[in-house]
Amino acid sequence: MFADFLKRLTDPAPAQLPDSDARLALTALLVRVARSDNHYSEAERARIQNIISKRYDLDTGARDALLADAEALEAEAPDTVRFTRAIKDAVPYDDRLAVVEALWNVVLADGSRAKEEDALLRLVANLLGITDMDSAQARQRAEQ
C-alpha cells in the first residue's frame, strides 16, 4: 500500500516531502516509538491522536484516518535507522524538533519510561539530526 511512498522517502536524494506526506511519516514515527516496548497502550494511542489533532488542526475523522494510515505505514516501513534518516533528509529541522517533543509526550503518556522507549528515542533524535541539548529540552517541555 505504501510502497511508492517508502520508495520516495528512502530515495538516496529525497526531495522535501509535501505536507501530507510529512504528516504521515512523522505520525508513523510516533507510532513506532509507542510500539517500541511491545505495548501500544490506549494512553499512547490517545496521546498520538491528541498530538496530531492539535499539530495539524484535524477533525476527528481526518485524525483517525491519518493515524490508521500511519499505523499501517509503520508496520511496512524499513528499519528505524533508514526510516528516520529518510525523514531527516526530507523534513525541516524545526518540524523534526517538534516531533522529538511529541515523541517524548508519547513515551510519557502511560506514566512510565520503558528502557526500550528511552533507547529508541535517543537513537531517533540522533538520526533526525536533533542535538542532545535540543532533545533534552524537548523532554523537559514534555514532562511539564
Q: How far apart are CA 31 and CA 28, in angstroms?
A: 5
Question: Quick one: CA dihedral 10, 15, 17, 21, positive or negative?
Answer: negative
Instruction: Give the pLDDT confidence of 11-65 residue by residue, as tens digits.
Output: 666 667 677 888 888 899 899 988 888 888 899 999 999 999 998 999 999 999 9
Q: How far apart are CA 15 and CA 134, in angstroms?
A: 25
User: Which three cell numbers, joined as nine digits, stand for 101?
Assistant: 517533543
Domain ranges of the chain: 18-143
pTM of the model: 0.80
CATH class of 18-143: mainly alpha
